[in-house]
């Protein structure tokens, strides 16, 4: 059975990183953008990382520019922005596509394991759903991710155990991460 550990990705320096190096850790894999309305998620992501990294928690950040051109910068500019504005210390990878023919195999796998269900109810979610549908129409059945800051929770065995759309409150994400970290084996 395939797991996250079967994949690799390039870090912001262009070096290949085998995700198997994270074996035994709880991961939160997220596609990000510097100019998105959800960019402030970097703050709770960094806070969660700093608080929980000693328990075996890692955030894996994958910038993506496929949603309304919200991450047009190069890797160095993105890294500088994240570190200077949000003080991020977690692992950042090279910019990727999460949808379409050139989609990262990792994100295609994650989204297949935990497909999109809903952004939820409310006016903000309705608008986001409309924009996501327009944006993802061009990707057809390869529209795996609906918007920036979609998060996937990975257990210590490399299995995808949860998916959080960007509209999910970050406190709920943290509670689920903590539960996974402290789960009895």
* pTM, entire model: 0.92
Distance CA(109)–CA(112), nearest Å, equals 5
Catalytic: 64?
A: no
pLDDT at 46: 96
Domain at 4-181, CATH homologous superfamily = Glutaredoxin (3.40.30.10)
Domain ranges of the chain: 4-181
Which tens digit of pLDDT belongs to each residue from 130-152?
A: 666 766 766 777 778 888 999 99
Strands (E), the chain: 8-10, 16-18, 26-32, 57-63, 91-92, 151-154, 160-164
The encoded tokens of residue 124 equal: 């903000």
Question: How much helix, strand and coil, in percent to the nearest 5, is found in the chain?
Answer: 40, 20, 40
Percent of the chain predicted with pLDDT > 90: 65
Phi/psi at 14 (5° precision): 85, 10
* Among 4-8, 74-78, 89-93, the least confident range: 74-78
Contact in structure between 125 and 167 (CB atoms under 8 Å): yes
Arithmetic mean of pLDDT, 26-50: 94
In angstroms and rounded to an integer, the radius of gyration of the C-alpha atoms of the chain is: 15
Closest CA to 36 of 60, 74, 63, 11: 63
The residue from 27, 29, 36, 96 that is catalytic is: 36
The number of beta carbons lying within 10 Å of the beta carbon of residue 119 is: 19
Which residue would you say has higher pLDDT here, 66 or 1? 66
Phi/psi at 28 (5° precision): -120, 110
């Amino acid at each position: 059975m395939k797991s996250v550990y079967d994949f690799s990705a390039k870090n912001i320096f262009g070096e290949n990183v085998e995700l198997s190096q994270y074996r035994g850790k709880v991961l939160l894999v997220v596609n990000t953008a510097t100019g998105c309305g959800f960019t402030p998620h970097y703050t709770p992501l960094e806070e969660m990382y700093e608080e929980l990294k000693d328990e075996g928690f890692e955030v894996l950040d994958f910038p993506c520019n496929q949603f309304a051109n919200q991450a047009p910068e190069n890797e160095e500019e993105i890294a500088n922005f994240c570190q200077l504005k949000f003080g991020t210390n977690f692992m950042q990878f090279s910019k990727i596509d999460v949808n379409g023919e050139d989609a990262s195999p990792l994100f295609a796998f994650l989204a297949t394991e935990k497909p999109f269900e809903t952004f939820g109810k409310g006016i903000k979610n309705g608008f986001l759903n409309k924009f996501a549908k327009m944006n993802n129409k061009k990707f057809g059945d390869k529209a795996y991710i609906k918007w920036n800051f979609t998060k996937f929770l990975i257990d210590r065995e490399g299995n995808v155990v949860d998916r959080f759309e960007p509209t999910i409150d970050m406190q709920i994400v943290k509670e689920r991460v903590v539960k996974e970290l402290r789960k009895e084996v």
